[in-house]
Amino acid sequence: MKAPSQYHRCPACKQGELVEATRVKTFAPHGTPVAVELRISRCTACGAELINAEQRRENLRRLQERKSAYGSLLLGEEIVALRKKYGLTQQRAAKIFGKGLIAFSRYENETSYPDASLTKLLKRAIENPSVLKALADEEGVEIPLWQARCSDERAAKLVPLPASPESALLWARLRSEREPAHPKRFEILTAGVPIHTEKMQLSGTAVNDAFVEEIRVS
């Protein structure tokens, strides 16, 4: 008898046992077949196929590995990721990149691959969000998650905090001297509340008596 922890009853039929199996998914970048063996669980009674969290992680790794066979081509997942990051439907994405309505469905399923010039453009949009924005503006297409992604980007630039208002100001002063071209608007926050949002004043009086948590640079 198997230990209870190793026995996985099928949630579909509640009769059979889920056993480890594989399914092969085939892609054809540049017309050359690339097979990826994916891990699944299959029910011994009804044949239902499920994927658990561990198998999913392993499958993602295996899928990622196929990239070595793609040369300059993008994986379908990379195109999906770009689109979803900005909350775009396949139709909106198609309009932004000047393609037909079903084009993105085909690229994402890899039933066809974007040509060289579109691949180049997609890569530029992945690396540089402003490229996507410019193309969307040109086509009059709204990007639903644009503001949200911009906030993420600003948050990623948060600078971890210097221990005191004095060191925060020192840091800001050094930075503005080293990078004179850098915008000089600093927000100094304490407990998440901005206490100094003016153009940087080097006197430091604005932050007296407060414990500074972070400095935002914009």
Asked if 19 touches Zn ion (CB under 5 A), the answer is no
Minimum gap (Å) between residue 6 Cβ and Zn ion:
17
Asked if 217 touches Zn ion (CB under 5 A), the answer is no
CA distance 131 to 83: 13
**Which of 46, 101, 148, 174 forms a contact with Zn ion (CB under 5 A)?**
46
189, 165 Cβ separation under 8 angstroms: no
Asked if 40 touches Zn ion (CB under 5 A), the answer is no
Sequence-separated (6 or more) residues with CB below 8 Å from residue 158: 214, 215, 216
188, 195 Cβ separation under 8 angstroms: yes
Minimum gap (Å) between residue 48 Cβ and Zn ion:
5
The nearer residue to Zn ion, 45 or 145, going by C-beta atoms, is 45
Minimum gap (Å) between residue 50 Cβ and Zn ion:
9
Q: Phi then psi for 183, rounded to 5 degrees?
A: -55, 145
Binding residues for Zn ion, rule CB under 5 A, total 8
Asked if 13 touches Zn ion (CB under 5 A), the answer is yes
Asked if 12 touches Zn ion (CB under 5 A), the answer is yes
- Cα angle 175, 180, 164 (rounded to 5 degrees) comes to 20
Asked if 16 touches Zn ion (CB under 5 A), the answer is yes
Asked if 45 touches Zn ion (CB under 5 A), the answer is yes
- Cα angle 16, 14, 37 (rounded to 5 degrees) comes to 50
CA distance 195 to 213: 11
Asked if 10 touches Zn ion (CB under 5 A), the answer is yes
For Zn ion, the binding residues (CB under 5 A) are 10, 12-13, 16, 43, 45-46, 48
